[in-house]
Amino acid sequence: MSDMITIALSKGRLADQALDLLEASGYDCSAAREKSRRLILEDEKAGLRFIMAKPADVPTYVEYGAADIGVVGKDTLLEEGRQLYEVIDLEFGACQMCVCGPVSLKGKLDQIPNKRVASKYPNITRSYFEGTKRESVEIIKLNGSVELAPLIGLAEVIVDIVESGRTLRENGLDVLEVIADISARVIVNRVSMKMKAQSILPMLDALRAQLAKQKEQKCREEAAST
Amino acid sequence: MGDYRFHTPDGVSDLLPDDCLTKRGLEHRLRGVFASNGYQEIETPGIEFYDVYAGGSFVAQENLYKLSDQEGRILSLRYDGTVPVARLAATLFKDVEPPIRLSYLENMYRFRESGGGRQREFSQAGVELLGISSPQADAEVIALAIASALEIGLTDLQISIGQAEFFRGLMEEWGIAAEDAAEISRHIDQKDTVALEKAADRFGLSIEAKETLLMIPALFGAYETLDAFEKRVKSPRAIAALQNVREILEILDDYGYMKYMTVDLGMLRSLDYYTGMIFKGFTYEIGFPVISGGRYDKVISAFGRDMAAVGFSLSVHLCMSALRRQGKEFLHTHVDTVIGYSREPGMRKMALSMAESLRNEGLIVLVDCEGMDEETLNHFTEKKSIEQMVFLNSSSCDCEEEETCQI
């Protein structure tokens, strides 16, 4: 039985940050650092196999057990709503999922009935408005530049990720309501957690320890600079 | 729209001869295990009234396949094996003295499940033990689940056991309201320690309670897991739950099955459904549990009869996928002998009776019905990889017959 661990990473910055952390925790990730177009990168000696996937597909790979572990943003997890173990908050890639709209709508959001909401995240939008706010809305799925929608009258508000809020402000929009805090998470397949516990649990412990160490270091640096 | 003549709907699949043969083999072995343990097989209708499932709110309506009858009543395709058995227990079996041991092996239909290992139509084999609420009954059902998995070749098996009452007892001890408890159980079930910590702070748990809470998703072992929690909890309900798991494990040890068991008190999905121990079975090469079961004493009471119940179901489909990926034996369809004959009088009759006697010896035999001559039949035999060919004609029939009799 192969005890190799398959890790699904979200292509891009998140993958690099995840690899940095894994390496700092004592795992050899040189296989994944290879600059190539290969989608599966394997290091038999280290017992690791990496899959480079689109962020939205990472939870899918992990839920079906095609990957044992994944690193993915909380936004993707909320949107995909899959059955997984969500074990560590890596705290990088931090931002917020928000309802945004024209500044003039601040505090008046509830007064618009059946509003149109544009978003890249239709499931998060539905669960927030229908579940949390108990309100029916018309959801318009867009694939990018969502800020356009309220500007040209396609929708009253949008649901999107806000990091600095600069794009919003430059377009006369603002955060109206915060739905959730977002950051990168480590997820684990429910079966792998049991069947490969001997390799997965130590890895999770090592990651947690490294995170704590980095946090402590940061605190000390901050204390020193003030 | 499209032309769907050539397609099957999402989440269903055709079963071709090799797979079908393998599946029938597994089914046969599963039925054998159930029967030899005194679980009598039943069949329930493929179509139930919607109320059967919706009445006790056991299943979210989005997950049921719905249709309606001519009177406009809503029907639902069979979703699971347990709820129809509960209906039976309260109706046709209402005068039957417990305990009742039943088994089923049927196709289930679930909407919204498809892709990967998940099918919308899939076979489940399962048992229900009704009318006994004891650790012995719990252990019997878990042991039967293990025996079933071993019987079909799933030897790399792990069973996790939890207890719904443990969590309920803790929530009671800490005075947490039902709605908040539901949120906490969701975080525990996802092993989301981040959200769990935040929730603990929000609900004002003591430091000690918070530590205990965070141990739930983190700890899984055997007796030591139970020991660790026993020292920390005060609620009699939670302590009784731990004691129940301990007793079940001790009995499973007598079965010789302890090596397959781990305790995981963080398995809290379908918490509304389970009233006691909960268990799931895992194996390699498949991302979903292949076995799922537990004690659900309130399911039958939703049908008006107060009756304890414990059971499990095993997904035949997922087990097949796991066995295939684990490289375990798979059956292949084959034909042992093909018999052809010349047009001379009496040859057909001889061919038919020879085929019958070979079949009686357990061989799989085809008789040609295309009127092939010897050479064509020879070609056919090779093409179809049939092991043996017999061609009967008046000049050769005597020796041919002798030859085949020696097979």
Provide long-range contacts, Cβ within 8 A and 24+ apart, for A58-62.
A58/A8, A58/A9, A58/A10, A58/A187, A59/A84, A59/A187, A61/A8, A62/A8, A62/A187, A62/A188, A62/A189
Nearest CA in chain B to A65: B287
CA B175-B179-B183 angle, 5° bins: 100
pLDDT at position B23 is 95
pLDDT at position B232 is 92
pLDDT digits (tens, 9 = 90+) for A87-97: 999 988 889 99
pLDDT at position B21 is 94
Whether A86 sits inside 8 A of B191 (CB atoms) is: yes
| Rounded-to-10 torsion of CA A10, A16, A19, A24 | -150
β-sheet bridge partners, residue A186:
A71, A88
Nearest CB partner across the interface for B116, out of A64, A88, A194:
A64
Q: Which residue in A194, A204, A208, A215 has the most chain B C-beta atoms within 10 A of its own C-beta, making it the best mutation to test that interface?
A: A194
User: Does residue A148 register a pLDDT over 60?
Assistant: yes
- CATH class of segment(s) B17-325: alpha beta
Whether B192 sits inside 8 A of A188 (CB atoms) is: no
Task: Average the pLDDT over A4-27 and give the result.
Answer: 91
What residues in chain A have their Cβ under 8 A from chain B's Cβ atoms? 1, 63-66, 84-89, 185, 188-195, 197
Please state the domain extents for chain A.
5-93+183-225, 95-181
From chain B, pick out residues whose CB is under 8 angstroms from the CB of A87.
Answer: 191-193
pTM, two decimals, is: 0.85
From chain A, pick out residues whose CB is under 8 angstroms from the CB of B285.
Answer: 65
pLDDT at position B402 is 46
pLDDT at position B117 is 64
| Fold annotation for A95-181 | D-Maltodextrin-Binding Protein; domain 2 (3.40.190)
pLDDT at position B349 is 94
Nearest CA in chain A to B190: A85
- CATH class of segment(s) A5-93+183-225: alpha beta
CA distance B83 to chain A (A): 24
Nearest CB partner across the interface for B262, out of A64, A190, A194:
A194
Identify which has the larger pLDDT, A45 or A15. A15
Q: What is the DSSP letter of B112?
A: T
Whether A194 sits inside 8 A of B160 (CB atoms) is: yes
Edge-to-edge strand ranges of the sheet holding B40-41: B40-41, B100-109, B121-130, B309-315, B291-295, B277-283, B157-163, B261-263
Residue by residue, DSSP assigns B74-110 as: EEEE---SHHHHHHHHHTTTTTSPSPEEEEEEEEEE-
Burial A3-32 (b: 16+ CB within 10 A, else e): eebbbbbbeeebbebbbebbeebebebebb
pLDDT at position B405 is 45
Whether A66 sits inside 8 A of B287 (CB atoms) is: yes
Q: Does an H or E element contain A185, and which?
A: strand A184-188
What residues in chain B have their Cβ under 8 A from chain A's Cβ atoms? 115-117, 156, 158, 160, 190-195, 217, 220, 262, 264, 282-289, 326
Nearest CA in chain A to B220: A194
**C-alpha to C-alpha distance for A108 and A204, rounded to whole angstroms:** 45
CB pairs under 8 A between A and B: 59
From chain A, pick out residues whose CB is under 8 angstroms from the CB of B326.
Answer: 1
Query: Helices B397-405 and B347-360: crossing angle, nearest 10°?
Result: 10
CA distance B361 to chain A (A): 40
Nearest CB partner across the interface for B289, out of A85, A86, A191:
A191
pLDDT at position A1 is 45
Over chain B (407 residues), what is each successive 10-residue block's mean pLDDT?
85 92 95 98 96 84 93 95 94 93 96 72 96 97 97 93 95 91 90 87 91 89 91 94 97 96 90 90 90 93 93 94 86 92 93 96 95 95 94 71 46
Please state the domain extents for chain B.
17-325, 337-404
Whether A1 sits inside 8 A of B190 (CB atoms) is: no
Q: What is the DSSP letter of A178?
A: E
Nearest CB partner across the interface for A64, out of B117, B191, B195:
B117
> Within 13 A of B287's CA, how many CA atoms are on the CB side?
22
Q: Which residue in A91, A191, A193, A211 has the most chain B C-beta atoms within 10 A of its own C-beta, making it the best mutation to test that interface?
A: A191
pLDDT at position B407 is 41
**C-alpha to C-alpha distance for B268 and B275, rounded to whole angstroms:** 11
Whether A195 sits inside 8 A of B282 (CB atoms) is: yes
pLDDT at position B396 is 64
Nearest CA in chain A to B155: A1
pLDDT at position B234 is 92
pLDDT digits (tens, 9 = 90+) for A53-88: 999 999 999 998 899 999 999 999 999 888 889 999
Q: Does an H or E element contain B277, and which?
A: strand B277-283
CA distance B49 to chain A (A): 29
Nearest CB partner across the interface for A86, out of B158, B192, B264:
B192
From chain B, pick out residues whose CB is under 8 angstroms from the CB of A89.
Answer: 194
Whether A85 sits inside 8 A of B220 (CB atoms) is: no
Whether A89 sits inside 8 A of B194 (CB atoms) is: yes
Whether A63 sits inside 8 A of B116 (CB atoms) is: yes
Nearest CB partner across the interface for B286, out of A65, A85, A197:
A65
User: Does residue A21 register a pLDDT over 70?
Assistant: yes
Whether A65 sits inside 8 A of B288 (CB atoms) is: yes
pLDDT at position B173 is 93
Nearest CB partner across the interface for A189, out of B160, B194, B287:
B287
pLDDT at position B52 is 93
pLDDT at position B286 is 87
